[in-house]
């Protein structure tokens, strides 16, 4: 952590500090959305539906591997930021070394557990006879490359945890750019198809991981990947897992929720599924912007929690205002040009109407989603493992009964509105927990103000 990072952690005006931590993360997450669209576009130029089906079916597997990276990365990252606030620099080295090597070990476990059951995994993803081979090819490459995919998500988090937000962003963008270049090369030049796309993803993660590892080895003052600093004692394991496990569970729940929602929409025809698919893809961009904002400020909140709780309170207040401003801005854009946005994907008038309706409804929850994500980030940053765990499962366990009830009482409209209702429930639960924990989170604020 160099002098610039110390300045942003401790002395910079709150607005400037939030911008330093959040803007690079917002840009990085935006690039990932662009990549996901281009990835499908490149493969779509081959005009093979089975390949596109394989790409869609393997999303849950990639989400699972990414979740393992976030388990170690976010758990270690928030712990590192708190330790930096306490100026326990040797402990930071132990945690960063633990994060690096445990990620690789976790990836090896995925290989050993996944390869013997690869056919079962492919069938479990819902493949058809036409897409089986392509899906299996993708799954094979992703399992073999899982140590580096897990490592990428881990290192991105711990680099950001020491305040090196721009370095973290560069690594994310490097991964996306390399991936896009390789996608074009393996598809149009080598004609590798799905195997090429999967290989490009793994290679891009290897390149970005090497970039982060170089930073940790040569640029960072306190983080390290040296094996001599590796330690896996009870304190490290408990602090990493009590935050990392809820993050992992939340990722799994989000994937399951998507599958369940699609199951309900199928009852209303292919147009309903297609309309939701288009609107959710459009919603993904502002959601990732807000997610980047909320995740970006987590290191600042975690550092301030142990170093200056008044600054932590000011950071949270400013972030809430930023969420409101962004949600209003995106909302106005959507309500003015929603038909044109859906029209970018289809010229079917009925599909445009249905997609525009879904977009209007789901955008109502954008502010709620942003604040709920911030609640989760606050609990992660302040080591409130139980609260973080509750936030990780609350939306999932409420959405299922809400879907059943809303579907029976209001049909298609009920299914669409169920997401907003589930988000509102999660928001209320998070607000209640934050109110209950307020004294624990900021016991020194009153004395500081006085």
Q: Does pLDDT of 445 surpass 60?
A: no
Q: Are residues 348 and 436 in the same domain?
A: yes
What is the tens place of the pLDDT at every residue in 377-401? 899 888 888 888 888 788 778 888 8
Last residue of a domain, one of 214, 232, 250: 232
Number of domains in the chain: 2
Q: Are residues 432 and 336 in the same domain?
A: yes
Angle between the N-to-C axes of helices 59-85 and 298-307, in degrees from 0 to 180, rounded to the nearest 10: 30
Q: Are residues 169 and 251 in the same domain?
A: no
- List C-alpha distances in Å: 400 to 263, 358, 362, 418: 11, 19, 17, 9
Q: Are residues 313 and 293 in the same domain?
A: yes
Q: Are residues 182 and 329 in the same domain?
A: no
Section 403-427 average pLDDT: 90
Cβ-Cβ contacts under 8 Å for 115 (sequence gap 6 or more): 140, 143, 144
Q: Are residues 305 and 446 in the same domain?
A: yes
Q: Are residues 51 and 93 in the same domain?
A: yes
pLDDT for residue 446: 40
Name which residue leads in pLDDT, 263 or 287.
287
Q: Is residue 303 within 8 Å of residue 27, measured between CB atoms?
A: no
What is the tens place of the pLDDT at every residue in 211-256? 999 999 998 888 999 999 998 899 999 999 988 888 888 777 776 7
Give the range of the structural domain holding residue 12, as residue numbers without chain letter.
1-232
Q: Are residues 160 and 284 in the same domain?
A: no
Q: Does pLDDT of 342 surpass 60?
A: yes
105: left (phi over 0), alpha (psi -120 to 50) or beta: alpha
Q: Are residues 181 and 251 in the same domain?
A: no
**pLDDT band, very low/low/confident/very high, at 447 (cuts 50, 70, 90):** very low
Distance of CA 419 to the CA centre of its chain: 18
Q: Are residues 23 and 145 in the same domain?
A: yes
Q: Are residues 4 and 51 in the same domain?
A: yes
pLDDT for residue 450: 36
2: left (phi over 0), alpha (psi -120 to 50) or beta: beta
Name which residue leads in pLDDT, 54 or 119.
119
Q: Are residues 173 and 71 in the same domain?
A: yes
pLDDT for residue 2: 55
* DSSP per-residue letters across 289-325: HHHHHHHHTHHHHHHHHHH-HHHHHHHHHHHHHHHHH
- CB atoms under 10 Å from CB of 339, counted, come to 13
Name which residue leads in pLDDT, 264 or 196.
196
Most confident of 80-84, 94-98, 443-447: 94-98
């Amino acid at each position: 952590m160099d002098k610039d990072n110390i300045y942003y952690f401790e002395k910079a005006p709150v607005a400037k500090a939030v911008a330093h931590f959040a803007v690079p993360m917002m840009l990085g997450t935006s690039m990932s959305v662009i990549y996901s669209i281009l990835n499908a576009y490149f493969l779509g130029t081959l005009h093979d539906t089975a390949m596109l089906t394989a790409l869609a079916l393997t999303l849950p597997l990639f989400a699972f591997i990414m979740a393992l990276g976030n388990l170690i990365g976010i758990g270690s990252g928030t712990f590192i930021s708190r330790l930096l606030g306490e100026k326990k620099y040797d402990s930071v080295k132990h945690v960063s070394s633990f994060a690096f090597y445990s990620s690789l070990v976790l990836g090896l476990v995925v290989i050993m557990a996944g390869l013997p059951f690869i056919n079962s995994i492919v069938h479990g993803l819902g493949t058809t006879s036409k897409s089986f081979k392509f899906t299996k090819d993708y799954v094979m490459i992703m399992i073999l490359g899982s140590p580096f995919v897990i490592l990428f998500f881990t290192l991105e988090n711990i680099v950001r945890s020491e305040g090196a937000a721009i370095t973290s962003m560069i690594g994310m963008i490097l991964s996306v750019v390399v991936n896009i270049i390789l996608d074009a090369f393996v598809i149009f030049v080598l004609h590798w198809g799905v195997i090429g796309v999967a290989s490009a993803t793994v290679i891009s993660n290897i390149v970005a991981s090497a970039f982060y590892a170089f930073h940790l080895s040569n640029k960072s003052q306190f983080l390290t990947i040296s094996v001599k600093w590796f330690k896996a004692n009870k304190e490290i394991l408990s602090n990493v897992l009590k935050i990392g496990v809820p993050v992992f569970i939340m990722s799994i729940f989000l994937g399951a929720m998507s599958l369940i929602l699609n199951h309900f929409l199928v009852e209303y025809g292919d147009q309903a599924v297609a309309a939701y698919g288009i609107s959710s893809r459009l919603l993904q961009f502002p959601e990732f912007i807000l997610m980047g904002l909320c995740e970006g400020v987590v290191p600042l909140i975690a550092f301030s929690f142990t170093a200056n709780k008044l600054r932590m309170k000011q950071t949270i207040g400013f972030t809430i205002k930023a969420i409101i401003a962004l949600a209003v801005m995106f909302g106005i854009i959507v309500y003015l040009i929603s038909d044109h946005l859906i029209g970018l994907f289809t010229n079917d008038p009925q599909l445009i109407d249905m997609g525009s309706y879904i977009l209007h409804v789901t955008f109502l929850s954008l502010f709620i989603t942003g604040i709920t994500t911030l609640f989760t980030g606050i609990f992660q940053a302040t080591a409130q493992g139980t609260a973080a765990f509750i936030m990780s499962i609350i939306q999932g366990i409420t959405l299922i009964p809400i879907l059943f009830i809303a579907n029976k009482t209001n049909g298609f409209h009920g299914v669409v509105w169920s997401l907003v209702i589930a988000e509102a429930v999660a928001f209320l639960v998070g607000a209640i927990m934050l109110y209950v924990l307020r004294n624990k989170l900021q016991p020194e604020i009153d004395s500081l103000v006085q």
